[in-house]
Structure 1
Amino acid sequence: MVKKKLVYGLAALLLTGCGLTGLMGCGNKATAEGRTEIEIVSYKKEAVDTFNKIAARFNETHDDIHLTIDSPNEAMTILKTRFIREDYPDIIVIGGDMDYSNFLDAGLFADISDLDVLSETKSAYLDMDKQLEFIPQDGTYGLPYAANAAGILYNKDMFEQHGWETPETWNEFTALCEQIQSEGVQPLYFGFKDTWTCLAPWNALAVSLADPQLCSQVNNGTTTFTKAYDETAEKMKALLAYGEPNPTAYSYNDACTAFARGQSAMYTIGSYAISQIKSVNPDMNIGTFTFPANEKEADNVLNSGIDVQFCVMKSCENKEAAYEVLRFLYRDDTIRTYLSEQGGIACKQGDFPLSSELEGVSPYVASNRMADFQDHHYPSEMSVDAMIQTYLLDDSSDAKETFLNKFDKDWKRYNRDLIWKIQQYNEKDGTSEDTK
């Protein structure tokens, strides 16, 4: 029986807070006559039409397996409720984030190390999944499929008109912002009214300025956020000089609209905002460059994280059928179908096209110079986005110290059980913290 560690942590919250919403997603699996039924539940509601098309293509070409891909509203809530009831799908579609970490820690996923197409995955994304493990585990538990990227979007036509060049270092970036301002144009737009947008530039800076395993290192007691995030916090604050006045007065939609209408030359957001921007200005010529956080270009890293991956549930009774589905999903033509409709970066090795908007970061993708979003390791209860917003609004002389001290204090508060578990693991494993 699948471990029930997840039940005790989630049962009260989900069954009282979610009520019938979660239960409505739970039903008996239908089995097509003469076929093995494989059910996938996806959290990517916006990709429902694409996954339906892929499922239909699979079913047309397979007589022995019938594939159903469900993409319900509030998918993660429904999944957690189903897990409590031990009503598991065969495969789930999930991002590389804390939900993945929690489900893996609860022992819900099967080890897919023996899946042949796994060897075709880019190493950077397999590494990201390993870094999401609370406790190091043998094996592989996710098949990364599509990723997104975050850096700085820029107005290519405006850059060409003014003769501006994309920067590669922090000094070049700040000098460019000064030059843009001197020509009567606003360099950046933020839209920090929606607190989550504060994480976009924060993540893009942090991946180049902090270790990708920083959160694990803090849990192990080998460093602190006060030490590791000092430069990130400093440069995050410095950005405010180049954006709109009172950025917390403007929302994400406001920022997308303003950038689309040429009210700034650049926008500190991820590739996921491109469709929203183009809904305002379909003809806008958008480019992307990696956030030049360092004084040396060679030290810069592209902020890219797993947006879609497939995890086989440990309870799956038809592993070979599930693997056949994954092999179909990992075919080049299937991946191209997904990317053409949903965008993003292929996690599979090979010659997969990047959208024109992402061409500027292609050298980083090709060379695996990528690191995961730092906030994928933050517990949601900690509300780091709101912490960053508060810090940006704090004009006191000790604002940075206050922010970083709170980061360390709240981290211990919200990760107390996890830190204890890691300490127990380290004592049992006998591994020195200095080697982790």
Structure 2
Amino acid sequence: MKQFRSRFALYAFLFVLSAFALCGAAEAGDPVTLKFLHKWPKVEYNDFFVQVARDFEKEHPDVRIQIEAAGDEPIKDKLRIQMGTDQQPDIFFSWSGEFARNFIRSGAVLDLTPYFEKEPSWRDGFMKAGLEPFATQGRYYGVPYRINGKFFVYNKKMFDDNGLKEPKTWAEFTAGLEKLKQAGVTPIGFGNIYPWASCHYITGLNQKCVPQEVREKDYAAASGEFTDPGYVKALEYFRELNDKGYFNMGANSTEHNMALEMFYGGQVAMVYVELEEFRDIEEKMAGNWGFFAMPSIEGTPGNPKFLTGAPDGFMVSAGTKHPDQAVAFLSFLTNKENSDKMVRAMGWPSPVIGAVNKENSMEMLVKGLEAVTEAEGMALWLDTDIDIKISDVYLPDLQELLNGDKSAEEVMKDVQAAAAAVRSEAAKQ
């Protein structure tokens, strides 16, 4: 009996031991979970990312992609909160410019340069204008996903009826605006209830009115002063469009989408839009439209061959526990095949060379991307290219400028004060 009990105890011990071993093996074989945060919560957009994630998981059964989406403003707040905690996403959306540089300076993101060196075809598959804005001191910290340019889109019939052609200079541009106004046509539909819209105008006007080296120095947190008179001049050009009645009434209480509806309905002759909006415009306008970049301004020091626009894309958290898997997913997301699918599904301009072509895109998108490629440089969106403490002053002041509550000089005094505070903080770091 004692022998039976001892054998039973041995078998029981071996059973428990094997159960623990199996449990451990199961845990060791559990798939890696990557948190992926993007900024397109609309169902049709999010569904695309879900499908790409499922395709990746089929090829990598040891990885699961957990997707979360937040819109333009919510994602900024979410990242500010999460990046300082253990809840940060492994892969997250980022604008280029100062928005990305802030993460780079704080050491919050992974240096992707070693991965590009291992896979040079991935790096070389991107347009330079898409990849370089995510680089700092020759190191790459982000991957571009879309690339955008900003253009005036116009109603061809309205232009033809008023004898107008695409302007090459600011003088030709404003002369055309005045002609439209005199004919009883509102020249430009403009929705500035969210001041990123006016920020896009000032992005281009600053680039034209301020020398490149001065602008680069001012946009850097540690050295920004914003004292060049070109900044005031840029604001004056912008305010003139409003004061002369070239914008629709009540621009500060109008949404961008409402301005687009005005354009579709023939209530305005033009709107200032991003390249990614071209597909929707074609669906509504059916060929009755053309586009041109913000015209050059005679006598200003900025490079006339620059274009307003920027890439946006993704970065990998420096705190991720699974960097190789995170980078593998980014490489998969931005390969030629999936970039082609993205262009077909959503009509977004891709920075992957050859991803936008005549087979998968309408002619206007191809031409727009050609204009981006041919530009000598990009003036990145102002609100993502300067410190957030400065943009939090600059953008609301643009609304006050249009309302007539502040002069151009007063706006720049506010900006200069914010820049001085940012410089002081940077000096302490």
Instruction: Settle same-fold status: TM greater than 0.5.
Output: yes
1:401-420 alignment to 2 at 5 Å?
A: 401-418=409-426, 420=428
Distance 2:278 2:349 in 1: 14
Q: What corresponds to 1:384 in structure 2?
A: 394
Q: What corresponds to 1:232 in structure 2?
A: 234
TM-score w.r.t. structure 2 length? 0.77
TM-score w.r.t. structure 1 length? 0.76
Cα distance change of structure 1 residues 324 and 144 upon mapping to structure 2, 3 Å threshold: same
Which of 167-176 and 71-80 deviates more?
A: 71-80
Contact 1:91 1:310 in 2 (8 A): yes
Distance 1:287 1:169 in 2: 17
Instruction: Report the number of matched residues.
Output: 383
1:31-42 alignment to 2 at 5 Å?
A: 35-42=31-38
1:107 Cα deviation after fit = 0.8
Q: Secondary structure at the match of 1:107?
A: coil
Q: Secondary structure at the match of 1:39?
A: strand
Percentage identity across paired residues of the two chains: 21
Q: What corresponds to 1:259 in structure 2?
A: 263
1:148 Cα deviation after fit = 2.2
Q: Which amino acid aligns with 1:156?
A: K
1:387 Cα deviation after fit = 0.8
Q: Which amino acid aligns with 2:294?
A: F
Q: What corresponds to 2:53 in structure 1?
A: 55
1:109 Cα deviation after fit = 0.8
1:375 aligns to 2:378 (yes or no): no
- Per-residue CA shift, 1:290-313, capped at 9, x if unaligned? 111323997142211123x12122
Contact 2:129 2:373 in 1 (8 A): no
Contact 1:54 1:334 in 2 (8 A): yes
Which of 318-327 and 289-298 deviates more?
A: 289-298
Q: What corresponds to 1:320 in structure 2?
A: 324
Q: Secondary structure at the match of 2:186?
A: coil
Distance 1:98 1:340 in 2: 31
Contact 1:120 1:348 in 2 (8 A): yes
Distance 1:375 1:213 in 2: 19
Q: What corresponds to 1:169 in structure 2?
A: 169
Q: What corresponds to 2:9 in structure 1?
A: none
Q: What corresponds to 1:293 in structure 2?
A: 296
Contact 2:279 2:347 in 1 (8 A): no
Distance 1:31 1:291 in 2: 58
Which of 149-158 and 412-421 deviates more?
A: 412-421
Distance 1:82 1:260 in 2: 40
Which of 60-69 and 184-193 deviates more?
A: 60-69
Q: What corresponds to 1:93 in structure 2?
A: 93
Distance 1:342 1:285 in 2: 21
Distance 1:66 1:221 in 2: 43
- Per-residue CA shift, 1:45-72, capped at 9, x if unaligned? 2331110111122223334444343325
Cα distance change of structure 1 residues 342 and 207 upon mapping to structure 2, 3 Å threshold: farther
Distance 2:333 2:212 in 1: 29
1:186-265 alignment to 2 at 5 Å?
A: 186-211=186-211, 214=214, 216-218=216-218, 219=221, 221=223, 224-240=226-242, 241=244, 242-265=246-269
1:127 equivalent among 129, 132, 135: 132
Contact 1:169 1:295 in 2 (8 A): yes
Q: Between Structure 1 and Structure 2, whose CA radius of gyration is higher? A: 2
Which of 227-236 and 103-112 deviates more?
A: 227-236
Distance 2:158 2:89 in 1: 49
Q: What corresponds to 1:159 in structure 2?
A: 159
Cα distance change of structure 1 residues 285 and 405 upon mapping to structure 2, 3 Å threshold: same
Distance 2:137 2:214 in 1: 18
Cα distance change of structure 1 residues 222 and 331 upon mapping to structure 2, 3 Å threshold: closer
Contact 2:95 2:384 in 1 (8 A): no
Contact 1:32 1:66 in 2 (8 A): no
